Structure formats: C-alpha cells, structure tokens
Amino acid sequence: MSSDDSPNVPAERDRRDAVREKAQQVQAKQSRARLIRTASIGAVVVGIVAVAAVVVTWVVSSSLSQPQLSPTNVTDDGFVVTTVTGVASATESGTVDDEAAAQTLEALPTETPSPTPTASPTEKPAVDIRVYVDYLSTGSHDFQVANVQQLSKWVADDAVTLTYYPVAMLTAKSNGTKYSLRAASAAACVATHSPETFFAFNNALLTEQPEVDADGYTDTELADIAQARGVQSPKVVRACIEKQEFASWAKAATERALQGLPETKDVTLTGTPMVFVNGVQYVGSLQDPKEFAQFVLTSDSDAYYKTPSPTATPGETATPTPTP
C-alpha cells in the first residue's frame, strides 16, 4: 500500500510550486504595470506643469515687455483744441443761432480801461477753458450741446484756449462693455493721430451719446464715427481704436484726476462735466450758454485786472514818478 501512495507526493508538491510561481509572476507583472502607469501619470503631470509654467512666464514677460502706450499732443491728460473744422454748430433741435454766439463772443472785451494810469498792457491774457468729460455722462452731453456754438467761435477767433480731458468714471454703466473707457481711448487715438479732427470727434461722441446702461458703440462703430469726421490716416486711427491702445492711459488718467486736478487748489474730480475758466470752476447751468458766456466774460475781466503793470526792460530806464 505504502509503495502505491509515494509517487503522488512529489507530483502534488510540484503542482503547488508551479501555482505559486505562476502567482508570483502575475503579481510581478501587475507591479510592473502599476509602476509604469504611475510613472506615466507622473510624467504627464510634470509635462502639464511645465507647459503651464512656460505659458505663464510668456504671458507675464509679454505684458512686462509691452510698453504702456500714452497719447501724444497731450498736456496734463488733456487735449487742446486746435481747429473746429467739421463741427456743424447746431442746437439740439438742429437750428443754428450764429447771431447769439457772435454776441457772446463780442461780449469778451478786447479793450478795457487800464486799472491804473501807467498800466497799459498791449495784449489781453488768454481765457483758459478746461472741460472734463465722460462720454457716457448726460451732463457732459448737455454742456456740449448748449455751448458748442460759442466754443467753436471763441476757438476760431483765438479768444480762448479750449482743452478737453476725457475720463472714464462710468465704465461700469454699459452692460460690461466698458464704453466710457473705450470711448476715452478712442478720443486719445484721434487726438494723437489726427489732432485737427479731435474737436469734431469729441463733439460727435458727446452730442450723439448712447444711453446710460446701454452697450454703447462698439470699437468698430467708434472707428466709423472717427472716419466720418475726416480723420487723417484713417487706417492708423481705426487700428488704434479697435485695439484700444490708450485704454490703460485713460484708466490711469481718470485715477489721477480723482486724486487731484492740475492747476487747482486741492480740487479732485467728483463728476462730469467739470468746467474751469482760468482755474475757477463753473457751477452754473449746464444748459444755459448765456450764463456760461457771462461766467467766461467775468473770469476774463478778472484776469485782465490781475495783470501786473509793465516793468522796465533791460537797457531801458523807467521814468520816475514826480513827487509833490
């Protein structure tokens, strides 16, 4: 009996050893697969992180290397009107009142009695008018519509120096399109590349103003308005407007105005329009051109009487005043 059972023992052991070896091989194969899978996932993650780092570095370096564009023909963030060509001086109803505008212009004194017998200035001081405007501000619209006729005539006759300061205080009031900011940037584009048409473009944006809380004009439409006003280098102006090249400048200029206005005594921008005549803020009616003309006349007279008396020039001897 014992001789018959003995041959089965080695066979059974061999089978167990074979099964164990097979299991070890399968386990080793699975371990290698897990290692390869883990390594692959790690490589992919590292690759993604590396690509993200490259993209971020490129974006940051590009933004740092790109210069902050600023307009030319600008003084203290304002644009001086050099010509009034292309502006149809019309009231809101479409009628032109040239006679009224001429009368207000003639009201500006060309000759005023000398404040003292010896003070006879040969040249009247210039009237300096500065206007801060937001192209979505209804007040800015009202002031421009009411005064565009006499402002045009005063500039054309060299009676005043007129400067506009585009700001963007109502950027959040255009359904997310940032119209105020884009319009101010567009105005800077025209003032830089076609300064002779700035007043016409500025007037169009103010008198043909979109409603508050509306989308406002698109950049393409702003470029169309500029081209319709006869800008020089229309392709350059269009590219400047559509790329919003001076948007960063307009934002910074607005922030500077909120901190303080140049040539004023601690005055900051609190709303638009803000109008100054010879450094004095106008607080009268925005829709009454006669009231504004009277304010200009008064400011001009005050400036005249503050003019110092002439002094002797080098090489001349001042005439002594007789004493009693």
In the chain, what are the domain boundaries?
Answer: 13-59, 79-108+125-305
Distance (Å, whole) CA 137 – CA 222: 17
Cis before 314? omega within 30: no
What length is written for the chain? 324
Other residues' Cβ atoms within 10 Å of the Cβ of residue 216: 24
First to last CA, the chain: 167
CA distance linking residue 166 with residue 68, whole number of Å: 18
Q: What is the DSSP letter of 46?
A: H
CATH of the domain spanning 79-108+125-305, picked from 2.130.10.30, 3.40.30.10, 3.30.470.30, 3.40.47.10:
3.40.30.10
Q: In a structure prediction context, what are the per-residue pLDDT tens digits for the chain, which is 324 residues long? A: 545 555 555 667 777 777 777 767 767 777 777 777 776 676 666 666 565 555 444 443 433 344 578 898 999 999 999 999 888 644 433 333 445 445 555 555 444 333 333 333 445 558 999 999 999 999 999 999 999 999 999 999 999 999 999 999 999 999 999 999 999 999 999 999 999 999 999 999 999 999 999 999 999 999 999 999 999 999 999 999 999 999 999 999 999 999 999 988 889 999 999 999 999 999 999 999 999 999 999 987 766 555 544 444 344 333 343 433
Q: How far is CA 64 from CA 58, 60, 61, 67, 215, in A?
A: 10, 6, 5, 7, 31
Burial 305-320 (b: 16+ CB within 10 A, else e): eeeeeeeeeeeeeeee
